[in-house]
């Protein structure tokens, strides 16, 4: 019988800067440091090993907008992406936000992932 792995989702901390900067090439080092300080990044760890992250900002300064969700190849198809999204939704709900946004290209597979989580197409 295979042991079940333990996935932990937490806010990114300064100690995560190096691994995030090596993996997230879509953001400058300066902005990454700011996002960590502002608590706008969630980290997923599988049995203590870095498994992915979710990074967000605010659209029009008032609507939470997920602009990066990434699960490392080793840990894909294990529910980690959905876990990151659900934890982000919980945090945003606790802060009083009723709507969340993300964006994909029309031909991206990730559309199916977001629809499965209950997200709807808006445009």
pLDDT tens string, the chain, 123 residues long: the values are 444 568 899 999 999 999 999 999 999 999 999 999 999 999 999 989 999 999 999 999 898 888 988 899 999 888 898 899 899 889 989 999 988 766 665 566 666 555 666 666 566
Other C-beta atoms lying within 10 Å of the C-beta of residue 60: 7
Nearest to 113 by CA among 63, 88, 76: 76
- Residue 2 is predicted with a pLDDT of 46
In the chain, where the domains are located: 7-116
| Pick among 3.40.50.1220, 3.40.630.30, 3.40.640.10, 1.10.3230.20: CATH of 7-116 | 3.40.630.30
């Amino acid at each position: 019988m295979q042991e079940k792995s333990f996935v932990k989702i937490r806010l990114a901390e300064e100690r995560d800067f190096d691994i995030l900067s090596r993996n997230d090439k879509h953001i400058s080092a300066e902005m990454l440091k700011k996002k960590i300080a502002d608590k706008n990044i969630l980290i997923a760890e599988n049995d203590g090993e870095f498994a992915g992250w979710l990074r967000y900002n605010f659209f029009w300064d008032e609507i939470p907008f997920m602009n990066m969700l990434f699960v490392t190849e080793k840990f894909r198809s294990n529910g980690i992406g959905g876990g990151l999204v659900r934890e982000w939704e919980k945090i945003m709900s606790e802060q009083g936000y009723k709507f969340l946004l993300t964006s994909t290209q029309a031909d991206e597979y990730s559309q199916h992932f977001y629809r499965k989580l209950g997200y709807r197409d808006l445009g």
